[in-house]
A and B are shown apart, each in its own frame.
Chain A
Amino acid sequence: MTSAGKMFDAVMHLLDRQVLDVDKMPVTVVDDVELSDIPSGRIPPGTPAPVITNLLAGSVLGTRMFGGRPPSSRLNRIRWRHVAELGTALRLNIRGDQLDVLWTERWVRNRIIGRIPGGRHDPE
């Protein structure tokens, strides 16, 4: 993803970093990453190295801290191809509104904050 093959350390430069969408709206923090399948057993020579397929967020933070693994269907994923830039934050090339990760934000917005008078206006 970084064009000139710049080295980066997934633990240092990816995990626990802020993710911003294309409009610089915060989306989440990188709670974990998902790698492409690693073949089990003896790995024959010439097998391509695993690559990062998705950024993960949400409940996976709990299992990252305390061990275990949630069922694959329960993971909130952000596709790696949507990552546009890697800096002091990760920039996506899409709008965060579409992402499953933000369902709690949408829920709180639609059910609570949006219903309080003034919630949809700029501060004065």
Chain B
Amino acid sequence: MSGKGSGSLADQATGKSSANLSILGVALGILTAIGGFVDIGDLVTNAVVGSRFGLSLVWVTVLGVVGICIFAQISGRVAAVSGRATFEIIRERLGPRASLLNLLASFFINLMTLTAEVGGVALALQLASSVHYLAWVPVAGFAVWLVVWRVKFKILENVTGLLGLTLIVFAVCLFLLNPDWNHLFNQATRPAVPEGEAPATYWYYAVALFGAAMTPYEVFFFSSGAVEEKWTVKDLSQSRLNVLVGFPLGGFLSVAIAACAAVVLLPAGIGVTSLSQVVLPVAEAGGKLALAFVIVGVLAATFGAALETTLSSGYTLSQFFGWSWGKFRRPVRAARFHLVMILCLLVGMGVLATGVDPIKVTEYSVVFSAVALPLTYIPILIVANDPDYMGRHVNGRLLNFTALVFMVIILLAALAAIPLMLLSGAGA
């Protein structure tokens, strides 16, 4: 996920923002938000769900997109107004014990997501080259480190976000497949557990899909990114626009992925267990050219998310201990931050080297993300209402009401995740 105030890129170019340049900036911000929305969790979970449940879980994607819009916006505002990123706030509000437990859980889940994303990069490279993905893991890990080490924040965010836009090929191919739109529409608007599937499995995937859309690293990354880019209150309207337009359109891509699977894989009885099955509908509808596009898109989406999770591992730990962090500093000026990221990448690559299936890691990471959601979202919501931090920029009543409704949903999803996992045999 990305899509922060990219407007300043245009501003930097001229030193001053003129009307049409800031339109360019807004467009760029929205486009990167769309392209950066999808990661390996969204790709795999949507394809799995589409191939088994058709579009009957689309309502969860909609719910997840609304949720991430609300909380990305709140965490961005907290960071811009108070200058404090998410984990600094968690430590301060929860005290050392509770926040340490929170850190351990969040850090572990982020590491799992990081592993899944690096595995996703390797799998995408395997699709492109026919060289086994394990051979690509060190290349992918090294490339992620190199970008985190040397490339400016704004550039890494915009390039991966824009390249990720090629995932629109899923939507194009859905039209090429010429599906029965009425049937799809009915599936989406009258959700029901399909025959042959247990209700526990249906709800297990509902939680997984919710976790995939609202992954906690997105909030760490978003709020820390706001500090990286030195947001002030003035940047908030731009960021709100990026979030409120970009993320729903990114969610639309997620639905297109599920719909492609529902049209091609569901009737054929193909279950998704690999990345090649995720992109199979695209290859069938659009041939080699579409396949080339989708591989670029998957590569950009997973690589971008690998960067974001790597940075998030550094952000969370550094913010908990109060270390110097941030890509706006030279690596020597944030030494422990960079060391943490190097170690996390090595651990992720080590886990992948055992031969564990990256798709399985992804499936578990999105469910555990759902478990960890309240750990991140509750403290943010509390601070967003604290005038000591926010002055007159505290949450309004309507926003608080919506956020509280979402808190209930988030808590339910978190509590239900593990029982549903056991009941459904992890969706088997």
Contact = CB atoms under 8 A, between A and B. Distances in A.
Given A26-B324, A89-B83, A105-B324, A120 B91 contact: no
A105 B84 CA distance: 21
Contacts of A121: 150, 330
A37 interface: no
B84 A18 contact: yes
A65 B101 CA distance: 12
B192 interface: no
Given A16-B95, A64-B96, A89-B83, A119 B332 contact: yes
A75 interface: no
Given A18-B84, A112-B339, A123 B327 contact: yes
A104 B324 CA distance: 12
Interface string B311-345: 00000001011111101001111011011000000
A123 B150 contact: yes
B57 to A, nearest CB: 40
Contact of B330 (A15, A61, A89, A122): A122
B379 to A, nearest CB: 12
Contacts of B84: 18, 88-89
A65 B100 contact: yes
- Where chain B touches its partner, the secondary structure class is helix
Contacts of A112: 335, 339
Nearest to A28: B322
A52 interface: no
B387 to A, nearest CB: 12
B92 A16 contact: yes
Given A26-B324, A65-B96, A124 B335 contact: no
Contacts of B11: none
B332 A109 contact: yes
B364 interface: no
Given A16-B96, A26-B323, A108 B150 contact: no
A61 B100 CA distance: 11
A106 B332 CA distance: 9
Contacts of B82: 88
Task: Bin chain B's interface residue count.
Answer: 20 to 34
Given A16-B91, A25-B333, A108 B339 contact: yes
Contacts of A64: 96
Contacts of A108: 335-336, 339
B331 A116 contact: yes
B185 interface: no
A27 B88 CA distance: 13
A48 to B, nearest CB: 29
B152 interface: yes
A60 to B, nearest CB: 10
Contacts of B150: 118, 121, 123-124
A91 B96 CA distance: 21
A96 to B, nearest CB: 8
Given A88-B83, A89-B83, A105-B324, A113 B332 contact: yes
A92 interface: no
Contacts of A116: 149, 331
Interface in A1-21: 13, 15-19
Interface in A64-105: 64-65, 88-89, 104-105
A29 interface: yes
Contacts of B336: 104-105, 108
B325 to A, nearest CB: 7
B294 to A, nearest CB: 30
A65 B97 contact: yes
B83 A123 contact: no
Interface in B348-407: 388-389
Nearest to A108: B335
Nearest to B90: A16
A9 to B, nearest CB: 11
Contacts of A27: 322
B422 interface: no
Nearest to B85: A18
A116 B152 CA distance: 18
B23 interface: no
A50 interface: no
Counting from the closest, the 8 A-B pairs by CB-CB distance are A29-B322, A109-B335, A108-B335, A113-B335, A28-B322, A119-B331, A26-B324, A16-B92
13 contacts: A25-B324, A28-B323, A57-B322, A88-B388, A89-B83, A105-B324, A105-B336, A106-B335, A108-B335, A113-B331, A113-B335, A113-B339, A120-B331
Given A16-B99, A123-B150, 12 more contacts: A16-B91, A17-B92, A18-B84, A19-B322, A25-B333, A28-B323, A118-B149, A119-B332, A120-B330, A120-B331, A123-B151, A123-B153
